[in-house]
Amino acid sequence: MDIQKSFEQRETGTLYVVPTPIGNLEDMTFRAINTLKNVSLIAAEDTRHTKNLLRHFNINTPLISYHEHNKNAREQMLLQHLKDKEDIAIVSDAGMPAISDPGHDIVQAAIKEHISVVVLPGANAALCALVGSGLSTNQFTFYGFLPRKKKEKQAELERLRDYATTLIFYESPFRVKQTVKVIQDVFDESHHIVLARELTKRFEEYTRGTVREVLEWIETQELKGEYCIIVEKGQAKDEQLSLWWSNLTIQQHVDHYVREGFSTKEAIKHAASDRQLPKRTIYQAYHN
């Protein structure tokens, strides 16, 4: 068991996980800038990329590479710096480290050594795309990059098809067309999806529609930039059972769970989950 009190005095340094802008430098927070200025060392996915960011904000902290190909060799060195009471920041090329980017392993290693890990809030492409998509945000599943090979990609999407959550994927512009075609095969052409690209940048773009509409649009486009693909939530296998409440009023729906032995609070929570509505909406309708 490990209890971390992040800002109490400790015998080690602190590992700071610092998100960086996904495109627009104005999204860098004051706290992130000050943290990068005050740590002893910055571990970066690509030092050439990060040097440009540091130069822009007049940050002169020493820089070292930490990426997928050298993370094992770097880990013990970084841990030793932390044990020597030096604070370290880890950054990726864009967004939140450890989310489809290097970072998880050093975070895990630091926790095992009882070293504080402090995560700063900041830019994240997946959440920006989800909120901007207009699809349900009540429950969602972030997957990251799907397998490159079509057969493996189809198998993963078939596994995810019955998830009653909005799905979020990252995708290269070179594979967006193939991925959307596989989504059409696994789901159907009337399923709603959203493509989001160049988020926070000048050419930010959302393409919203059915799979068929989006595929037709793709055929006329030269795709550029990294994409987020947001897929409308799937239907559970026993759809008719999942909609057993469709003829009930909200009050009847909540009362059903109360009769099953749930408290009113729990019953409202279950009804909200069934209907994919905010709990406060069910609460207000039930009590009014």
Domain end (from 119, 151, 172) = 119
pLDDT at 241 over 50: no
Domain CATH number, residue 189 = 3.30.950.10
Averaged pLDDT score across all residues of the chain? 91
The answer to the question of residue 237 being in a domain is no
The answer to the question of residue 7 being in a domain is no
Cβ atoms within 10 Å, residue 75: 17
The answer to the question of residue 216 being in a domain is yes
Tokens matching residue 244: 């057993």
Domain CATH number, residue 66 = 3.40.1010.10
pLDDT for the residue 73: 86
Provide the whole-model pTM.
Answer: 0.78
Identify the helix (H) or strand (E) that includes residue 275.
helix 264-275
- Listed in order, strand segments (DSSP E) in 97-237 are 117-119, 140-145, 166-171, 192-197, 205-210, 227-231
On whether both 152 and 102 belong to a single domain, the answer is: no
Domain that holds residue 190: 125-231
| Whole-number percent of the chain with pLDDT over 90 | 66
Tokens matching residue 179: 């991925």
The answer to the question of residue 4 being in a domain is no
The answer to the question of residue 3 being in a domain is no
pLDDT for the residue 260: 78
On whether both 183 and 92 belong to a single domain, the answer is: no
* Residue type, position 239, single letter: E
CA dist., res. 209 & res. 190, Å (int): 9
Domain end (from 119, 138, 170) = 119
On whether both 202 and 138 belong to a single domain, the answer is: yes
CA dist., res. 213 & res. 179, Å (int): 14
On whether both 110 and 189 belong to a single domain, the answer is: no
By CB atoms closer than 10 A (0-12, 13-18, 19+), residue 250 is buried
On whether both 35 and 59 belong to a single domain, the answer is: yes
The answer to the question of residue 239 being in a domain is no
Domain count, the chain: 3
Instruction: List the alpha helices (DSSP H) in 161-260.
Output: 176-186, 211-218, 239-242, 250-259
The answer to the question of residue 236 being in a domain is no
Q: Could you read off the pLDDT of 180-222 as tens digits, one per residue?
A: 999 999 988 888 999 999 999 999 999 999 999 999 999 998 8
